[in-house]
């Protein structure tokens, strides 16, 4: 029962002053084992804040990130799943599922977490999952109108991952749940 | 002869204690054998040890305490005696035969205590007798301790209301009279100590005096405990007498201590009702007395009193506490023109706290206080004194904490004026405090005027106040400051587009004066706020034509164009490029083709001229292509030009794999599912072929198998679409 927080596109301070207080009160240190961040934090303070929530922090670079040392993409293995992170502005067209799937195959991962569009999405695609946690602060996006703040919490348990998405709609936090099961894998082709 | 040498004192103390104990021993023996005469003889000898003038008050106290204990036992014996039939009057007579006056008086007090308890005579007579007799001792230390003894033994025998000693002849008035007289005499003795002895030992004397001050203060404490004293009696008798003594003694130490004592021991309601009298005494005190501390404490007490319950607030109004305090402070400051600035500010700080607690809705009072502060500060240059600046920060933070709302604080017209007197460091600190308060309370600042006022206040953060160059501001601190300003900009919002536009213009005006270091931090949030406004305006499509001056997206874009341009003038090309592209997308959504084209042009120019780092180039290209791909507003010609340029850039990237990826990304430019006029299959193929060529070259150069494999997959997918 490993909890992984997928969050990103906060754009603090350029597009938003801070995380919504309701989210802040939910994100408590010590409960989450890993944090996956798609990028565009943008400043060091947010990085430090995430570090206090959980020391195992994986970030990829978004185009507005102040710290240019973050990698363009990253992979890690948690339990039985291989996860990949990529911000998404490099994948053209932005938000296009096929292109993202290509990245997934390239990185050879089961779950790909990307961002940039500020819109929550979760697809099942050819044996893998593509998740976009949206923007945690509801930051302005040229891509999406009416952005609701959202983030994703994944519960990885053996061969099964349950994806909880938390969205702040009209001041209330709404939770949704999606189940994915990994088929018993043959070793990958590469 | 005053002692000189601590060791000598120790010796004398030891000798005194030894003598005392020896005599006490004999006294006990006499008591046990009921030998009254001997008992008195030895007790008198024992008490003679207290006649010494060699000890400092501290040591004398030790001796005194032992004597006190012995006298308790003696008192019990006397009580037994009277029960056995010995007349107390006779006893009273008898003890007066003791040889020396000091022991005589101690014994008298002891007997007197028993006398009162026996109720054979009215308490007031005995008390009066005793307090008069004690006049016989005029030596300060001895006299103080003697009278202190008197106060102690008489404490529970005062004819207070409800006490057993009250009678027709004895009333509270007599009790009060007794205590007041004792107090007056003790104070006189205490003050006299100041003037005894050579001038060079002044410090030592003052130290000794402060050791004794509680003895004097005890009387006031006793007074406050007397239940029979009600407000009227306090107003008519007690306070005037006490104040008279305080003022007339003209002694700095006594005045300070006693004023403070009065404020601490008597209840707050009394203080409120006698505020005139109390405050009237202050100007009459010696100029060296630390009035500000006393006044501050008074105000603190009253503030706490006000905060304790809401019922007492009307009392304050009735008594017009604020104006009295204000006037009093004014008079004090006038009377002491040399008061250091720290003192002035402390006073006003306490007054402001008081005002905020008692009259939270009277902004004009708070403003008055600040105004007085400004008046006093004017004429001096910026403050250098650290403590004073700290006090000012406290002064300014108090309204923020209390009101929890910067908007209210902004209404205090004198607020910014006070801030002007802070040096730039503190100004920044204060500005940060303000911003933090706004963020904590999430206050929305929604009109341009308020924004203007707010930015006036925090101008320390927004631009360099002095023209002189600052020595290195710490990098991290600077970033933090600017980030907080950036966050602040996010909180400035109004739902009315006109108003919002005004706000944006105001903010822009201020931050453009910030200098090149600040712009990268402050411009982006402004840009995004503007873009949000654009979107909001878009949503209001219903606006018919015909408004001349209303805010249109076009106007906003013009402003944005100029603003982002400033960013490109200082070296921040990547940021500027990104912002241009964002604006272009927004223009796209508004169907403003020329505007969007203009933005793209600017972006391209930046790319060509400024961005030379290869990684930055890659990112920039991705963004350009991504944005362009989503544009639907361009006509064929424009789009062609832009696409051509983009493809050109892609092919010129430094690393081959990057080139390849960029080029096949460009292929998407020619085929967008949603737009029917952009489906140029041929060009797509061309792009892909080009990509393949590059990939092959790359492969030849460095076995980058993945590069070509990727493009093959893509090829397949695109054909499949």
Residues B29, B31, B32, B33, CA torsion sign = positive
Query: Are the CB atoms for B489 and B525 separated by under 8 Å?
Result: yes
Averaged pLDDT of chain B: 76
Domain ranges of chain A: 2-181
pLDDT of res. A190? 36
Q: Which of residues 390-429 of B touch A (CB under 8 A)?
A: none
Q: How far does the CA of residue A111 sit from the closest CA of chain B (Å)? A: 19
H or E stretch at A169: strand A160-169
Residue B705 pLDDT > 70 = no
Note the pLDDT of residue B469: 41
Tell me the DSSP string of B652-665.
Answer: T-SSHHHHHHHHHH
**Which residues are CB-contacts of B712 (< 8 A; sequence separation ≥ 6)?**
none
Model confidence at B464, in pLDDT bands (50, 70, 90)? low
Distance CA B191, CA B252 (A): 9
**Chosen from B443, B480, B487, B707 to mutate, greatest number of chain A CBs within 10 A:** B487
Tell me which chain A residues have a C-beta less than 8 angstroms from the C-beta of B528.
Answer: 11, 14-15, 139-140
Type and span of the H or E element at B209:
helix B202-225
Rounded mean pLDDT, A171-184:
81
Average pLDDT score over residue span B322-341 = 74
Q: Is the peptide bond before A42 cis (omega within 30 degrees of 0)?
A: yes
Q: How would you class B424 by CB atoms within 10 Å of its CB: exposed for 0-12, middle for 13-18, buried for 19 or more? A: middle
Both structure tokens of B78: 């006397």
Confidence band for B2, pLDDT divided at 50, 70 and 90: very low
Q: Do B646 and B670 form a contact (C-beta atoms < 8 A)? A: no
Q: Give the C-alpha separation, B597 to B536, whole Å.
A: 22
Rounded CA gap, B712 and B699, in Å? Answer: 14
- Residue A71 confidence class, pLDDT cut points 50, 70, 90: confident
Distance between CA atoms of B3 and B309, rounded to whole angstroms? 54
pLDDT attached to residue B249 = 84
Contact A94, B627 (CB under 8 A): no
Determine, for residues A13 and B486 on separate chains, whether the beta-carbon distance falls below 8 Å: yes
Interval B158-176 mean pLDDT = 71
Whether B379 shows a pLDDT value over 70: the answer reads no
* Per-residue 3-state assignment (H helix, E strand, C coil) for B532-586: HHHHHHHHCCCCCCCCCCCCCHHHHHHHHHHHHHHHHHCCCHHHHHHHHHHHHHH
Measured CA to CA, the distance from residue B703 to residue B695 in angstroms comes to 10
Mean pLDDT confidence for A2-18: 84
Note the pLDDT of residue B164. 67
Q: Residue B525: which of A13, A90, A145 has the nearest Cβ?
A: A13
Considering only residues B169 and B163, tell me which one the structure prediction assigns the higher pLDDT.
B163
A45 vs B483, B586, B625: nearest CB: B483
Q: Which of B308, B315, B312, B158 is nearest to B224 (CA)?
A: B158
Taking one residue from A and the other from B, the number of pairs with CB-CB distance under 8 angstroms is 80
Give residue B8's pLDDT.
81
Measure in Å the smallest separation between the Cα of B674 and chain A Cα atoms: 12
Is the pLDDT at B709 greater than 70, yes or no?
no
CB-nearest to B490 from A17, A89, A142 is A17
Question: Using CB atoms, which residue from B487, B532, B629 is nearest to A17?
Answer: B487
| Confidence category of residue B94, pLDDT binned at 50, 70, 90 | confident
The reported pLDDT for the residue numbered B711 is 54
With a CB-CB cutoff of 8 Å, which residues 42-71 of chain A face chain B?
43-45, 63-64, 68
For the cut 50, the answer to whether the pLDDT of residue B548 exceeds it is no
Three-class SS state of A76? strand
C-alpha closest to that of B352 among B400, B283, B291: B400
Contact A44 B525 (CB under 8 A): no
Residue B679's CB is within 10 A of a number of other CB atoms, namely 12
Tens digit of each residue's pLDDT (9 = 90 or more) over B97-134: 877 888 888 888 888 888 888 777 777 888 888 888 88
User: Taking CB atoms and an 8 Å limit, are B525 and A140 in contact across chains?
Assistant: no
> Which of the four pLDDT bands, split at 50, 70 and 90, describes residue B162?
low
Band of residue B167 on the pLDDT scale cut at 50, 70, 90: low
Q: Measured between beta carbons, which residues in chain B are less than 8 angstroms from residue A94?
A: 626, 629-630
Chain B residues whose beta carbon lies within 8 Å of the beta carbon of residue A98: 717, 721
Q: Cβ(B493)–Cβ(B455) under 8 Å?
A: no
Residues of A (107-136) whose Cβ lies below 8 Å from B: none
Residue B313 near chain A (CB below 8 Å)? no
Please list, in sequence order, all residues whose beta carbon lies within 8 angstroms of the beta carbon of residue B125, skipping any fewer than 6 positions away.
none
Given this model, what pLDDT does residue A123 score?
83
What's the average model confidence in pLDDT over B53-59? 81
Tokens of B77: 């014996």
Could A140 and B626 be called an inter-chain contact, meaning their C-beta atoms sit closer than 8 Å? no
Q: Over 50: is that where the pLDDT of A80 sits?
A: yes
Q: Which residue of A has its CA nearest to B487?
A: A17
Query: Region B546-560: what's the mean pLDDT?
Result: 64
| Residue A27 near residue A10 (C-beta atoms within 8 A) | no
Which pair of structure tokens corresponds to residue B589? Answer: 């959504």
Using one digit for the tens of pLDDT, what is the confidence trace for A83-127? 888 888 877 777 777 777 777 877 888 888 888 888 888 888 777
Confidence of residue B257 (pLDDT cuts 50, 70, 90): confident
Average pLDDT over residues B618-627: 80
Confidence (pLDDT) at B713: 55
What is the overall mean pLDDT for chain A? 82
Q: Which residues contact A156 (CB under 8 A, 6 or more apart)?
A: A1, A2, A4, A78, A79, A80, A81
Which chain B positions have a beta carbon within 8 Å of A137's beta carbon? Answer: none
Q: Per residue in B77-88, pLDDT tens?
A: 888 887 877 777
Q: Which of B426, B428, B418 is nearest to B460 (CA)?
A: B428
For B70-90, the DSSP string reads HHHHHHHHHHHHHHTT--HHH
Interatomic CA distance for residues B516 and B486, integer angstroms:
15
CATH class held by domain A2-181: alpha beta
pLDDT digits (tens, 9 = 90+) for B475-490: 777 777 777 777 777 7
Q: Report the residue from A13, A64, A139 with minimal CB separation from B487.
A: A13
Dihedral angle of Cα B224, B226, B230, B231, to the nearest 10 degrees: -10
Contacts of residues B240-249 at CB distance under 8 Å and 24 or more positions apart, as own/partner, are B240/B277, B241/B180, B241/B184, B242/B180, B242/B183, B243/B277, B243/B278, B243/B281, B245/B183, B245/B184, B245/B187, B246/B187, B246/B281, B246/B285, B247/B281, B247/B284, B247/B285, B249/B187, B249/B188, B249/B191
Element (H, E) at A113: strand A111-114
Contact yes or no for B480 and A64 at CB 8 A: no
Three-state SS string across B415-436, please? HHHHHHCCCHHHHHHHHHHHHH
Q: Is the pLDDT of residue B643 over 50?
A: yes
**Nearest CB partner across the interface for B668, out of A14, A93, A106:** A93
Tell me: the pLDDT tens digits for B584-597? Answer: 888 777 777 788 88
Q: What is the pLDDT of residue B163?
A: 67
Please check whether residue B485 is in contact with residue B461, taking contact to mean a CB–CB distance below 8 angstroms. Answer: yes
Cross-chain CB nearest to B586 (options A68, A98, A142)? A142
At B715, is the pLDDT very low, low, confident or very high (cuts 50, 70, 90)? low
Question: Closest partner residue to B710 among A12, A102, A143, by Cβ?
Answer: A102
CB of A24 less than 8 A from some CB of B: no
Query: Minimal Cα–Cα distance from A163 to chain B, Å?
Result: 29
% of chain B residues with pLDDT over 90: 0
Pick the more confident residue, B530 or B377. B530
Task: Show the tokens assigned to B478.
Answer: 């600077």
DSSP assigned state of B159: -
- Interior/surface letters B365-397, b for 16+ CB within 10 angstroms, e for the rest: bbbbbbbbbbebbeeeeebeeeebbebbbebbb
Are A36 and A6 contacting, i.e. CB atoms less than 8 angstroms apart? yes
CB B329 within 8 A of CB B351: yes
Question: From the centroid of its chain, how far is CA B34?
Answer: 67
Tokens 């997928």 belong to residue: A6
User: Is the pLDDT assigned to residue B384 strictly greater than 70?
Assistant: no
Q: What residues of B are in contact with residue A93 (Cβ under 8 Å)? A: 626, 629-630, 668, 672
Contact between A43 and B483 using a beta-carbon 8 Å cutoff = yes
């Amino acid at each position: 029962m490993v909890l992984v927080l997928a969050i990103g596109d906060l754009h603090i301070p350029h597009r938003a002053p801070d995380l919504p207080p309701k989210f802040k009160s939910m994100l408590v240190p010590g409960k989450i084992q890993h944090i996956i961040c798609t990028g565009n934090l943008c400043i060091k303070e947010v990085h430090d804040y995430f570090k206090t929530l959980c020391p195992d922090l994986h970030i990829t670079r978004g185009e507005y990130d102040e710290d240019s040392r973050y990698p363009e993409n990253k992979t890690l293995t948690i339990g039985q799943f291989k996860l990949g992170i990529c911000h998404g502005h490099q994948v053209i067209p932005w938000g296009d599922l096929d292109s993202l799937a290509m990245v997934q195959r390239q990185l050879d991962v089961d779950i790909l977490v990307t961002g940039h569009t500020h819109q929550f999405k979760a697809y099942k695609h050819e044996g893998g999952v593509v998740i976009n946690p949206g923007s945690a602060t509801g930051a302005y996006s040229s891509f999406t109108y009416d952005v609701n703040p959202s983030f994703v919490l994944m519960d990885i348990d053996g061969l099964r991952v349950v994806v909880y998405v938390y969205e702040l709609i009209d001041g209330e936090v709404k939770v949704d749940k999606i189940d994915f099961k990994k088929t018993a894998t043959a070793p990958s082709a590469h | 002869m005053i002692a000189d040498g601590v060791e000598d004192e120790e010796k004398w103390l030891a000798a005194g204690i030894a003598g005392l104990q020896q005599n006490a021993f004999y006294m006990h023996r006499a008591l046990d054998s009921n030998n009254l005469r001997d008992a008195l003889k030895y007790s008198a000898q024992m008490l003679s040890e207290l006649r010494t003038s060699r000890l400092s008050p501290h040591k004398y106290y030790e001796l005194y305490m032992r004597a006190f204990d012995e006298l308790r036992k003696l008192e019990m014996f006397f009580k037994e005696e009277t029960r056995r039939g010995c007349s107390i009057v006779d006893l009273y007579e008898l003890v007066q035969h003791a040889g020396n006056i000091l022991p005589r008086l101690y014994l008298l007090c002891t007997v007197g205590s028993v006398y009162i308890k026996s109720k054979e005579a009215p308490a007031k007579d005995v008390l009066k007798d005793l307090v008069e007799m004690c006049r016989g001792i005029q030596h300060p230390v001895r006299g103080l301790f003697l009278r202190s003894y008197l106060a102690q033994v008489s404490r529970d025998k005062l004819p207070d209301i409800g006490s057993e000693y009250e009678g027709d002849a004895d009333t509270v008035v007599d009790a009060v009279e007794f205590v007041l007289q004792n107090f007056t005499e003790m104070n006189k003795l205490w003050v006299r100590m100041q003037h005894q002895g050579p001038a060079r030992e002044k410090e030592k004397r003052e130290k000794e005096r402060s050791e004794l001050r509680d003895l004097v203060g005890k009387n006031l404490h006793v007074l406050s405990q007397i239940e029979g004293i009600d407000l009227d009696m306090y107003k008519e008798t007690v306070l005037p007498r006490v104040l008279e003594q305080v003022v007339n003694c003209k002694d700095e130490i006594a005045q300070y201590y006693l004023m403070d004592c009065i404020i601490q021991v008597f209840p707050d309601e009394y203080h409120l009702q006698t505020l005139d009298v109390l405050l009237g005494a202050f100007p009459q005190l010696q100029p060296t007395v630390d009035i500000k501390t006393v006044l501050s404490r008074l105000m603190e007490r009253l503030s706490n009193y006000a905060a304790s319950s809401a019922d007492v607030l009307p009392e304050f109004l009735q008594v017009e506490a604020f104006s009295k305090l204000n006037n009093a402070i004014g008079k004090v400051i006038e009377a002491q023109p040399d008061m250091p600035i720290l003192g002035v500010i402390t006073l006003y700080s306490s007054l402001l706290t008081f005002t905020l607690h008692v009259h939270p809705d009277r902004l004009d009072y708070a403003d008055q206080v600040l105004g007085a502060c400004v008046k006093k500060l004017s004429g001096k240059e910026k403050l250098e004194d650290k403590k004073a600046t700290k006090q000012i920060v406290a002064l300014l933070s108090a309204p923020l904490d209390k009101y929890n709302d910067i908007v209210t604080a902004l209404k205090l017209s004198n607020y910014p004026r006070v801030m002007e007197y802070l040096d730039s460091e503190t100004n920044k600190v204060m500005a940060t405090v303000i911003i933090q308060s706004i963020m904590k309370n999430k206050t929305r600042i929604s009109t341009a005027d308020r924004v203007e006022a707010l930015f006036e206040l925090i101008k320390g953060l927004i631009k360099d106040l002095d023209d002189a160059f600052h020595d290195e501001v710490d990098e991290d601190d600077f970033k933090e400051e600017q980030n907080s300003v950036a966050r602040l900009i996010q909180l400035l919002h109004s739902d009315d587009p006109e108003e919002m536009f005004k706000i944006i213009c105001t903010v822009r005006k201020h931050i453009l004066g910030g200098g090149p270091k600040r712009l990268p931090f402050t411009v982006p949030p402004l840009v995004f706020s503007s873009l949000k406004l654009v979107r909001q305006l878009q949503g209001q499509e219903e606006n018919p034509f015909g408004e001349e001056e209303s805010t249109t997206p076009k106007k906003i874009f013009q402003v944005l164009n100029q603003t982002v341009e400033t960013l490109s003038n200082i070296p921040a090309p990547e940021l500027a490029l990104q912002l241009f592209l964002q604006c272009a997308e927004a223009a796209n959504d508004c169907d403003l083709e020329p505007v969007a084209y203009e933005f793209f042009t600017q972006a391209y120019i930046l790319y060509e001229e400024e961005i030379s780092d290869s990684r930055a180039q890659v990112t920039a290209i991705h963004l350009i292509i991504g944005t362009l791909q989503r544009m639907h507003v361009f006509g064929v010609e424009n789009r062609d030009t832009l696409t051509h340029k983009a493809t050109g850039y892609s092919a010129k990237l430094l690393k081959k794999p990057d080139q390849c990826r960029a080029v096949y990304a460009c292929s998407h430019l020619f085929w967008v599912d949603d737009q029917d006029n952009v489906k140029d299959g041929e060009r797509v193929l061309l792009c892909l072929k080009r990509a393949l060529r590059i990939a092959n070259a790359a492969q030849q150069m460095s076995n980058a198998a993945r590069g070509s494999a990727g493009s093959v997959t893509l090829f397949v997918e695109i054909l499949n679409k």
